[in-house]
Chains A and B, each alone.
Chain A
């Protein structure tokens, strides 16, 4: 049971999310109705993605301070997992949008172009593209140390430019997405009732812990591969 309490906590929190998230009372806002329960999945994906990108950039900084190859592997694996979460966030968001934003009188795909133009969707796409570029940059360099050094520099630079931009930009441009005059998803006054926060915060923690768990497994795998290559 060495240091496994947070894995158990992750499972318990997610079980709670799935049961309480589907059973508890939710406010019935006119366009959303029951789809508001997607908040426990869609928004949590983006939260977990941002947390994992942050962990990745912290590891990039640690790499530049110590030049220990281990931290480079950490940074890469956290970035990959965060991309996966971002894609899941897109999928859950697409399902949600098909019930709330799409024109109900036409087939869902006909509304695609008007939905896909939303600044928040573009911002999220840009965030994912930046980290795809990070992976491309990594794979284009042969030398191990150089690869780690340059990709750590790009990671920090990209994070520092991108995140202010995608947090600020969607609040300046007009958007259909909720959370324009404040914090997306955490707007306590209008969007979510106290009841929902009882599920939402545990859900964020649960999903993030699950993602970290998956990443630690991948890190162990690639550290083992590294060791095999060295010997």
Chain B
């Protein structure tokens, strides 16, 4: 079998990451029963609750990212020139995706909708970050290109902002 060239590999990888994230993270809010939410409501503050969710989903997504990277390398070959940097970007990307989608899952769960509305809400918001990640990670396939640090910092700043927004805005979703 032919192995896909590096551009296709990269694009495919990030699209699969996106779908992994939607399916993995959507569970976190949509599967909670009403009774359990009430229990959480009585024992924790909204900020603590959302931080715990963000933390759990981040770890879950980091694990999933590494797993899918492993499967990609096993099944589609390894076009990576700078594996270490790419793994770092994969972890950063997985973290970004999981943060954004955790908060969107909270919104979708409150709207009493299925995972479909989460995709509708999330796709447009995540595309800019995904474009940045793809552009960054394409540098990991060429030996001479260097990954621009500014863009990495920009992504980290966006992630920090998402966490802050989640902590500020979640209390409004929480009370019913």
Contact = CB atoms under 8 A, between A and B. Distances in A.
Decide if the interface of chain A is mainly helix, strand, loop or mixed.
Answer: helix
Contacts of B91: none
A174 B111 CA distance: 39
A137 to B, nearest CB: 6
B162 interface: yes
A140 B120 CA distance: 12
Interface in B45-82: none
Nearest to A67: B172
Interface stretch (A49-57, A72-80, A148-156): A148-156
Interface stretch (B9-17, B28-36, B122-130, B139-147): B122-130
B165 interface: yes
A140 B165 contact: no
B117 A126 contact: no
Interface in B112-163: 112-113, 117, 120-121, 123-125, 127-129, 131-132, 135, 151, 154, 158, 161-162
A126 B127 contact: yes
Interface in B6-43: none
A215 B70 CA distance: 53
Contacts of B123: 129
A140 B113 contact: yes
B111 A137 contact: yes
Decide if the interface of chain B is mainly helix, strand, loop or mixed.
Answer: helix
Interface stretch (A9-17, A89-97, A159-167, A201-209): A159-167
Nearest to B157: A164
A79 to B, nearest CB: 14
A156 B127 contact: no
A209 to B, nearest CB: 29
Given A136-B117, A160-B161, A173-B131, A130 B124 contact: yes
Interface in A125-149: 126-127, 129-130, 133, 136-137, 140-141, 146, 149
A230 interface: no
A200 to B, nearest CB: 27
Contact of A157 (B112, B127, B135, B165): B165
A133 B107 contact: no
A123 to B, nearest CB: 7
B165 A119 contact: no
A172 interface: yes
